[in-house]
């Protein structure tokens, strides 16, 4: 499946869609996915080694040269970063769930 095929199918989870662009044998990619999995975050994984459009998007459009690249699309805009960054996962993804739960209580 290519990014072109996935993009229309990405559904926001609690108003947030998370895409993780990865490559094989990438330690940071595995750790990023582990953190998202442990937090119960639904995300779409796109392999940049097999998807040339995804590779071009990450390297040319976003300007990154390191995997993973995480793109968070939310009602308040898009955030993205490259590399293993647990603080950004908390700030832009898991913190949203905590804030929503607090507001609902």
Distance CA(65)–CA(59), nearest Å, equals 6
Which of these CATH numbers, 3.30.565.10, 3.40.50.620, 3.40.30.10, 3.80.30.20, describes 13-104?
3.40.30.10
68 touches 82 (CB < 8 A): yes
Using a pLDDT cut of 70, give the percent of the chain over it: 74
| Overall average pLDDT of the 55-83 stretch | 93
Domain ranges of the chain: 13-104
Q: pTM for the full model?
A: 0.79
Closest CA to 43 of 21, 74, 19, 62: 19
Average pLDDT over residues 3-17: 57
Can you point out the beta strands (E) in the chain?
17-22, 44-47, 69-74, 77-82
């Amino acid at each position: 499946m290519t990014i072109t095929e996935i993009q229309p199918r990405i559904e926001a989870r609690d108003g947030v869609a998370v895409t993780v662009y990865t490559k094989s044998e990438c330690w940071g990619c595995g750790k990023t996915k582990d953190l998202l999995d442990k937090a119960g975050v639904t995300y779409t994984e796109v392999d940049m080694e097999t998807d040339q459009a995804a590779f071009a998007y990450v390297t040319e459009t976003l300007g990154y040269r390191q995997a993973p690249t995480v793109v968070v699309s939310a009602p308040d805009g898009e955030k993205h970063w490259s590399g293993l960054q647990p603080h950004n996962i908390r700030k832009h993804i898991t913190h949203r769930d905590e804030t929503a739960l607090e507001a609902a209580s």
